C-alpha cells in the first residue's frame, strides 16, 4: 500500500473541519502541501494543521514532486481551471462540489483527465455516509416496493452576509458559483437521488429572485423524470422564515423520509407502521469518502463519486436554471489567473 501525498488548492472554510483533517487521519494518506493566494492565511493553515509546505502559487503546488494528488477546494469558477492544470502533470484530482459551474465545464474536466489517464473524484460525500447508505439499502431491499415519486422540500432563511450588498458571499454570485444557494445545496440532494434511484433523464425548472438581496436566484421549482420512470418534484426557497429540509421517496408499499442537511433519522413507513434509523455524523464528514478515494488510488474498491456521475447533476442544474440564466444573461467566462483564492 502506498501513502498518497495530498496537496490542497484553496484552503478555506470547507477544509477546516469537513475535509482537511481527514487527509491526515486516514491510513496511507498524508497532507503535505496547501495553497492560498494570501500568504498569511496559507502559512497559518499549514501551521495549525501541521502541514509541511504552503504556497501562494497553485502552479508550484501542482508541480511539487512531493504531491501525488490534488484536492481542489476553491469556489466553482476555478474547478475546471485547476483540474486541467493537474491533468497536464497527470496527478489525480479530487474536486469540491458542485463539480463545476456548468455541464460544459464538467465535460472538459472529464476529457482532460481521461486523456491524461488519471481519475477524477468529486466531493459528493453523502454517497459514503451511513445514513444515505441505509436509504439505499432499504430501496435495494424493496422495502417500499416500486418507487413512484420523489419530493424535495428545502427552505432556509437568508444568511447574515446576504444583506451586505457590497461584500456578498461568493455562493450568491453566479459568475463564481454558477448560481446561488440552489446550486450550492440542491446539488447535494440531486446527486444523492442519482445515487439512490438513478440518473434524471428529463427536467424542467423555474427560478426567480423575489427578495432581491443578491443577483442569484432565491426560489426554484422543478419537475423531473428518472431514467427508470420515477417522477420527481422539488421546491427550494432561500428567504424563508425557518429551515425545512425533507426528502420523501414514495413507493407503492410505503415511504422513506430523510433530510439532506439536518441531522435527522431516516424514517420508513410501511403498512401503518413506522421505523426510524438514527446515525451519528462523523466528526470530519468527508472522511469516509476520502478513505474510498485513497483506497481506489491503492487499487482497493472504488469511490462512488466520480466525474461522470457528478457531471449528471450539473446537467440537471443547467436544465433547471436554463430559462432563468437566459433571462438574466448570465455567462460563465473561463478563468485565466488565480486571484482571490
User: So what's the pLDDT on residue 337?
Assistant: 61
pTM above 0.85, yes or no: yes
- In the chain, where the domains are located: 4-126+286-305, 130-281
- pLDDT of 336 over the 70 cut: no
What pLDDT digit, counting tens, does each position of 282-299 carry?
Answer: 999 999 999 999 999 999
Dist CA 252 CA 173 (whole Å): 42
User: What's residue 171's pLDDT?
Assistant: 97
pLDDT in the model for residue 339: 55
DSSP 291: H
What is the share, in percent, of the chain residues with pLDDT greater than 70?
98
| DSSP states along 159-221 | PGGGG-TTS--GGG-HHHHSSSHIIIIIHHHHHHHHHHT--EEEEEEEEE-SS-SSSS--EEE
Q: Mean pLDDT across the stretch 13-32?
A: 96
The CA-based dihedral angle spanning residues 12, 314, 170, 152, taken in that order and rounded to the nearest 10 degrees: -100
pLDDT band per the 50, 70, 90 thresholds, residue 271? confident
Q: What's the rounded Cα separation, in Å, for the pair 223 and 90? A: 40
Structure confidence at residue 338 (pLDDT): 58
Are 4-126+286-305 and 130-281 equal in CATH topology? no
User: Cell numbers of 43, please?
Assistant: 502559512
Write out pLDDT tens, residues 165-222.
999 999 999 999 999 999 999 999 999 999 999 999 999 999 999 999 999 999 999 9
Mapped onto helix, strand or coil, the DSSP state of residue 32 is: strand
Cα 112 from Cα 64, distance rounded (Å): 20
What does the pLDDT average to over 276-285?
95
What is the band of 277 on the pLDDT scale with cuts at 50, 70, 90?
very high
Q: Tell me the percentage of the chain whose pLDDT exceeds 90.
A: 96
Average pLDDT of the chain to the nearest whole number: 96
What's the confidence (pLDDT) of residue 232?
Answer: 98
Q: What is 4-126+286-305's CATH number, 3.10.20.600, 3.40.50.720, 2.40.170.20, 3.10.530.10?
A: 3.40.50.720
In CATH, which of 3.30.360.10, 3.40.1360.10, 3.40.50.300, 1.10.3720.10 is domain 130-281? 3.30.360.10
pLDDT, tens digit (0-9, with 9 covering 90-100), for 76-106: 999 999 999 999 999 999 999 999 999 999 9
Q: Which residues lie below 8 Å from residue 123, measured CB to CB, with a gap of 6+? A: 19, 94, 95, 96, 97, 286, 289, 305
Sheet holding 93-95, edge to edge: 53-55, 29-35, 4-9, 69-72, 93-95, 120-122
Distance CA 133, CA 127 (A): 7
Reported as a single tens digit per residue, the pLDDT across 139-152 is 999 999 999 999 99
Give yes or no for a contact between 34 and 339, defined as CB atoms under 8 angstroms apart. no
Task: Tell me how far CA of residue 253 lies from CA of 134, 138, 271, in angstroms.
Answer: 18, 12, 7
- Give the model's pLDDT for residue 229: 97
Q: Measure the N-to-C terminal CA separation of the chain; round to a whole number of Å.
A: 33
Average pLDDT over residues 225-234: 98
pLDDT of res. 333: 84
Beta bridge partners of 266: 277
Q: Give SS3 for 59.
A: helix
Amino acid at each position: 500500500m502506498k501513502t498518497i501525498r495530498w496537496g490542497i488548492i484553496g484552503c478555506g472554510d470547507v477544509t477546516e473541519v469537513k475535509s482537511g483533517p481527514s487527509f491526515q487521519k486516514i491510513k496511507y494518506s498524508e497532507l503535505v502541501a496547501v495553497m492560498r493566494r494570501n500568504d498569511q492565511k496559507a502559512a497559518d493553515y499549514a501551521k495549525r494543521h501541521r502541514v509541511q509546505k504552503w504556497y501562494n502559487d497553485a502552479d508550484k503546488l501542482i508541480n511539487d514532486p512531493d504531491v501525488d494528488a490534488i484536492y481542489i477546494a476553491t469556489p466553482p469558477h476555478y474547478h475546471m481551471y485547476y483540474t486541467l492544470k493537474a491533468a497536464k502533470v497527470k496527478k489525480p484530482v479530487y474536486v469540491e462540489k458542485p463539480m463545476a459551474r456548468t455541464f460544459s465545464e464538467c465535460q472538459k474536466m472529464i476529457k482532460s483527465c481521461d486523456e491524461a489517464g488519471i481519475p477524477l473524484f468529486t466531493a459528493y460525500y453523502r454517497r459514503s455516509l451511513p445514513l444515505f447508505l441505509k436509504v439505499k439499502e432499504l430501496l435495494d431491499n424493496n422495502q417500499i416496493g416500486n418507487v413512484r415519486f420523489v419530493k424535495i422540500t428545502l427552505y432556509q432563511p437568508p444568511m447574515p452576509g446576504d444583506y451586505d450588498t457590497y461584500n456578498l458571499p461568493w455562493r450568491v454570485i453566479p459568475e463564481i458559483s454558477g448560481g446561488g444557494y440552489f446550486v450550492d445545496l440542491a446539488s447535494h440532494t440531486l446527486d444523492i437521488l442519482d445515487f439512490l434511484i438513478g440518473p434524471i433523464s428529463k427536467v424542467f425548472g423555474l427560478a426567480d429572485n423575489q427578495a432581491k438581496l443578491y443577483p442569484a436566484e432565491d426560489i426554484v421549482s422543478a419537475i423531473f423524470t428518472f431514467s427508470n420512470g420515477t417522477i420527481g418534484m422539488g421546491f427550494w426557497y432561500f428567504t424563508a422564515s425557518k429551515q425545512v429540509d425533507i426528502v420523501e421517496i414514495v413507493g407503492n408499499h410505503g415511504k422513506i423520509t430523510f433530510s439532506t442537511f439536518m441531522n435527522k433519522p431516516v424514517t420508513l413507513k410501511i403498512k401503518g407502521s413506522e421505523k426510524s434509523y438514527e446515525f451519528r455524523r462523523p466528526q470530519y464528514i468527508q472522511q469516509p469518502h476520502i478513505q474510498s478515494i485513497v483506497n481506489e488510488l491503492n487499487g482497493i474498491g472504488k469511490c462512488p463519486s466520480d466525474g461522470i456521475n457528478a457531471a449528471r447533476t450539473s446537467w440537471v442544474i443547467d436544465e433547471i436554471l436554463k430559462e432563468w440564466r437566459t433571462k438574466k444573461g448570465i455567462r460563465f467566462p473561463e478563468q485565466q489567473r488565480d486571484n482571490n483564492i
